Amino acid sequence: MSVPIQPSSAARAKACCAATYGSDVVALLLGDSYHPGGLALTRRLADRLDLRAGARVLDVASGRGTTALTLATEYEVDVTGVELSDANVALATGAAQAAGLADRIRFQVGDAERLPVDAGSFDVVVCECAFCTFPDKPTAAAELARVLRPGGRLGITDVTVEADRLPPELTGLGASIACIGDARPVDEYHALLTTAGLRVTRIERHDTTIAAMIDQIEARLTVMRMTARARAEALGVDFDRAPAVLATARAAVADRVLGYALLTATKPR
């Protein structure tokens, strides 16, 4: 979930999303963790995956490295992050070095539909608030399965949408950048993972995290309007449109049209 930000071009939604989530304005609005539920939900996902010290973890669409740093620090795992944005990879690498974790965390540029890692090389794969942005979801699901060892575990948290009930204000390219436009119902995520050869073991709904993020964005927009309006508008924030879009998103959450889910799956031995 994000804010009305005008895209700089009509490039593919995936590339636009990567650029948007690497921007300063999104960091101002969403903080260090760009997904609903923040690090609390990241820790819940890690616990559901039964992370153990020394496990090899792949963080797909790793952003600025917040999830990777948290998992390496709190669960003592070895993390590889794959991220589409060169800028985010550079920032994440710097953060790992600053934290003294460069020996256990590494980041590289790569596409989720063509992961630059060997088959069967990870115990756990995590992907937070990103699967919904992948244009070719069956291929991406197959890649997530490919890189897991037999018996390995996958954890996803992501936006869910009942597309036929989605209001027009939350559709189109802008919604794709906001990680809404190509999100799917949770049952479809289940089907995609099953088709890829994985066994879904858990589904949890966390719709309240979307509502909380909407409240956070609304509060931070109010502050930005008063203290940094010109800069925010130069970065693409549409203050006039934002209240209506956020109100529509809040109503969609209440109607269970828009939500957030946690899924775990295993790769059969």
Domain ranges of the chain: 13-266
pLDDT digits (tens, 9 = 90+) for 154-203: 999 999 999 889 888 787 544 544 567 689 999 999 999 999 999 999 99
Q: Which CATH code is given to the segment(s) 13-266?
A: 3.40.50.150
* One-letter-per-residue 3-state SS of the chain: CCCCECCCCCCCHHHHHHHHHCCHHHHHHHCCCCCCCHHHHHHHHHHHCCCCCCCEEEEECCCCCHHHHHHHHHHCCEEEEEECCHHHHHHHHHHHHHCCCCCCEEEEECECCECCCCCCCEEEEEEECCHHHCCCHHHHHHHHHHCEEEEEEEEEEEEEECHHHCCHHHCCHHHHHCCCCCCECHHHHHHHHHHCCCEEEEEEECHHHHHHHHHHHHHHHHHHHHHCHHHHHHHCECCCCHHHHHHHHHHHHHCCCEEEEEEEEECCC
Question: For each of the chain's 269 residues, which pLDDT tens digit applies?
Answer: 444 433 332 233 343 344 344 455 565 566 555 678 999 999 999 999 999 999 999 999 999 999 999 999 999 999 999 999 999 999 999 999 999 999 999 999 999 999 999 999 999 999 999 999 899 999 999 999 999 999 999 999 999 999 889 888 787 544 544 567 689 999 999 999 999 999 999 999 999 999 998 898 888 889 888 998 898 888 778 888 888 888 998 999 999 999 999 999 999 99
What is this structure's pTM?
Answer: 0.86
pLDDT digits (tens, 9 = 90+) for 218-241: 888 898 889 988 988 887 788 888
